[in-house]
Amino acid sequence: MLENIINFIIQKQNDIAILGFTILGLLYISTIVIFKKVPIIETLIILLSIGLFFFTKYLTRELIITLLGINLIVWTVAELIFACLLLYVIILIRALKYKNKMKFYQLTPSNIESNIYAYFDKRSKLLMFTDQFYDILPKDYQNKKRWHRLVKNIICDGEKMSYKKFMNHLREFGEKTFNIEIVFSDFASVKEEVVKSMITENGKLRGYLLYNQKLTPSQLYKDTVVKEYASHMFNFFDSLNEPLAYFDSANNHYILTEAMKKTIGINEDVITGENLLNYIVEEDVASYKRMLTQKEGSNKYYYRLKTVNGIEWFEETRTFEGIYVYNIIHWAKFIPRQMKYLPREALENEIKLNQDSKRNFVLVFMTLKKIAGYAEKLGKDVANVLTDRYFAQLTSTRLNQTRVYKLSNVDYCLLFTGTADYERIVSEINSNVSDLLSMQIVFNGNKYQMTNALGIVKSESILNPSPERFIVAGYEALSYATNPDYGRPFSIYREKREERPNYQFDKYRVDINNEFLYDKRKI
């Protein structure tokens, strides 16, 4: 097959050459039209292809020259095809770079367009220096390809560094103002204050630009508008008369409303994040620091602040929109109740329905032993959140049970039907692997252990059953499970049966006949 291909190429070499050179010519002309300049690399590729073809075609026409056993004409045609592909790839790369540059031009704010010195991609890699940059260089150093080789050093913010180190230094920052002085080999120098700024499209980072600080009237007007907007925003928050603070990213501090200043007891209008840590309860500092690592999306973080009224829960909402971040601190509004607890009356009705249907069932009464301590330490709202999360996880993942009956702030009950549930529950409890006894709940990044005491009542264990009697039996079982001297965190109710004595009178020859009391003889 290879031999057939070689023979075909030799026979059709002129046709293939015409087609190949036509394609090369079209690509070459397209490059000149699009980029408006004669491309050096493409020119060299075409000249090499033409020279090799004519050398093979005419100068060696009397000879048969082979390379690796293959006719040189075949190699020449292969080189021509490769040249077409290479030229096409080069044009694609140039077009992509050109498109990116045009995109940057379109996204660049018009108020600083005439002052732009350089463009960078989103990884801060240099794409190009602009003509405006070369215009500020001394005339002897405006060669676009060699100017950086003539740089002696660059002084950036008082630090002397090489050109390469300076470019790496620029990559370390997203947005920043730099004072630079470019010193050339003959000690000619250029001093500029430049700003590295982000270029975004629909909130997404597309790259960076470097421009000088000379502002046009539109930028000055924009700064005035921003200041007025910030003033109106503060007045709005302050008018709510609630303890609020919002983050000013431009100055890297929080701005406090009057109510917030009074709540935490300070006179300053602003506070830095570092100083805010002094008011956060030590256990919750990790939550605040975890917030600082968030780089996208929107999340809520809870922590307690030391206020003039004692310890109070606050919520900080951190939201990213593109390159901008918004933080607002306010009183905590915890997650709405996830669980709908049923009252004691509903439990009594459910017990009666199961009795009427003659279904066996099991009641699991539980006392949440740690929830009162959590309520005292963390507050009632957080205790409710922990309780909700516990039962939500318990009923959905382990027990496939959705009804929870609330008997008090710490006492709850679950009802299960069938003997299999009872056997499984008792087996897990005896093995100390039951979520009914203990479960770890995560809130705000911290772990809290829910530890319970259980009282278990089977429907068959009550002799004279009634809904009220079942609940009383459950509390009797709980009284044992909550007693530290009992030794176990659970108790299974077993009703005491009244045993009547079985006197064996015949065995002891006792005459219990009382007919003598009714003697028919008259006295």
70 in a structural domain:
yes
Pairing between β-strand 446-458 and β-strand 438-443 as defined by DSSP bridges: antiparallel
Host domain of residue 325: 221-331
Q: Provide the pLDDT for residue 68.
A: 46
Dihedral (CA of 406, 407, 408, 413) sign? negative
Structure-derived torsion over alpha carbons of residues 33, 38, 42, 48, reported in degrees to the nearest 10? 130
Q: Provide the pLDDT for residue 242.
A: 86
Q: Where is average pLDDT lowest: 35-39, 281-285, 379-383? A: 35-39
More confident residue, 52 or 139: 139
* Res. 503: pLDDT tops 60: no
**Neighbouring C-alpha atoms within 13 Å toward the C-beta of 263:** 21
More confident residue, 170 or 322: 170
Ranked by mean pLDDT, the top range of 62-76, 343-357, 496-510 is 343-357
Average pLDDT on 343-368 reads: 91
Q: What total of structural domains would you count in the chain?
A: 4
Q: Provide the pLDDT for residue 346.
A: 94
Q: What is the CATH number of the domain that holds 324?
A: 3.30.450.20
Cα–Cα distance measured from residue 19 to residue 12, given in angstroms and rounded to the nearest whole number: 11
Q: Are 481 and 367 in contact (CB under 8 A)?
A: yes
Q: How many CB atoms lie within 10 A of CB 98?
A: 12
Q: Provide the pLDDT for residue 67.
A: 46
Cα–Cα distance measured from residue 459 to residue 437, given in angstroms and rounded to the nearest whole number: 21
Token digits of residue 487 = 């030794």
Q: Provide the pLDDT for residue 134.
A: 86
Q: Provide the pLDDT for residue 147.
A: 86
Instruction: Give 136-169 pLDDT, tens digit per residue.
Output: 888 888 888 888 888 889 999 889 999 999 999 9
Q: Where is average pLDDT lowest: 164-178, 432-446, 494-508? A: 494-508
Q: Provide the pLDDT for residue 110.
A: 47
Residues 380 and 480 in one domain: yes
Give the DSSP letter of residue 308. T
Q: Are 151 and 182 in contact (CB under 8 A)?
A: yes
Residues 389 and 487 in one domain: yes
Residues 184 and 235 in one domain: no
Which among 331, 352, 385 is the end of a domain? 331
523 in a structural domain:
no
438 in a structural domain:
yes
Average pLDDT on 56-81 reads: 54
Q: Provide the pLDDT for residue 345.
A: 94
517 in a structural domain:
no
339 in a structural domain:
no
**What backbone phi and psi angles, to 5 degrees, belong to 340?**
-105, 105
Q: Are 128 and 135 in contact (CB under 8 A)?
A: no
Residues 120 and 196 in one domain: yes
Q: How many CB atoms lie within 10 A of CB 258?
A: 13
Identify the burial level of 142 via C-beta atoms within 10 angstroms of its C-beta, where 0-12 means exposed, 13-18 middle and 19 or more buried. Answer: middle
End-to-end CA distance of the chain: 146
518 in a structural domain:
no
Cα–Cα distance measured from residue 457 to residue 211, given in angstroms and rounded to the nearest whole number: 78
Cα–Cα distance measured from residue 92 to residue 316, given in angstroms and rounded to the nearest whole number: 48
Angle between helices 344-356 and 467-481 (to 10 degrees): 120
Q: What is the secondary structure of 387-442 as a DSSP string? A: HHHHHHHIIIIIS-----EESSSSEEEEEEESHHHHHHHHHHHHTT--TTTEEEEE
39 in a structural domain:
yes
Ranked by mean pLDDT, the top range of 65-74, 210-219, 457-466, 513-522 is 457-466
Residues 289 and 372 in one domain: no
Average pLDDT on 49-69 reads: 55
Q: Where is average pLDDT lowest: 174-183, 256-265, 316-325, 346-355? A: 316-325
Q: Which residues of 380-419 are buried (b: 16+ CB within 10 A; e: fewer)?
A: eebbbbbbbbbbbbbbeeebebeebbbbeebbbbbbbbee
Which among 331, 361, 376 is the end of a domain? 331
Which among 107, 137, 164 is the end of a domain? 107
Token digits of residue 507 = 């065995």
Residues 318 and 352 in one domain: no
Q: Provide the pLDDT for residue 161.
A: 92
Residues 80 and 143 in one domain: no
**Which amino acid would we find at residue 453?**
A
Kindly indicate the confidence band of residue 440, based on its pLDDT and cuts at 50, 70 and 90.
Answer: very high
Instruction: Give 445-463 pLDDT, tens digit per residue.
Output: 788 999 999 999 998 888 7
* Res. 111: pLDDT tops 60: no
Residues 206 and 229 in one domain: no
Residues 354 and 466 in one domain: yes
* Res. 108: pLDDT tops 80: no
337 in a structural domain:
no
Q: List all residues 6 or more positions away from 178 whose beta carbon is below 8 Å from its beta carbon.
A: 156, 157, 170, 193, 194, 195, 196
Q: Provide the pLDDT for residue 337.
A: 59
Kindly indicate the confidence band of residue 514, based on its pLDDT and cuts at 50, 70 and 90.
Answer: low
Residues 12 and 121 in one domain: no
Kindly indicate the confidence band of residue 523, based on its pLDDT and cuts at 50, 70 and 90.
Answer: very low
Q: What is the CATH number of the domain that holds 383?
A: 3.30.70.270
Residues 57 and 125 in one domain: no
Residues 209 and 227 in one domain: no
What percentage of the chain reaches a pLDDT higher than 90?
18
Q: Where is average pLDDT lowest: 177-191, 261-275, 359-373, 390-404? A: 390-404
Q: What is the mean pLDDT of the chain?
A: 77
Q: Provide the pLDDT for residue 112.
A: 47
Q: Are 452 and 441 in contact (CB under 8 A)?
A: no
Kindly indicate the confidence band of residue 476, based on its pLDDT and cuts at 50, 70 and 90.
Answer: very high
Cα–Cα distance measured from residue 65 to residue 56, given in angstroms and rounded to the nearest whole number: 9
Q: Provide the pLDDT for residue 48.
A: 67
Length of the chain measured in residues: 523
Q: What is the CATH number of the domain that holds 120?
A: 3.30.450
Cα–Cα distance measured from residue 188 to residue 191, given in angstroms and rounded to the nearest whole number: 10
Q: What is the secondary structure of 473-503 as a DSSP string? A: HHHHHHHHHT-GGG-SSEEE--PPPPPPP--
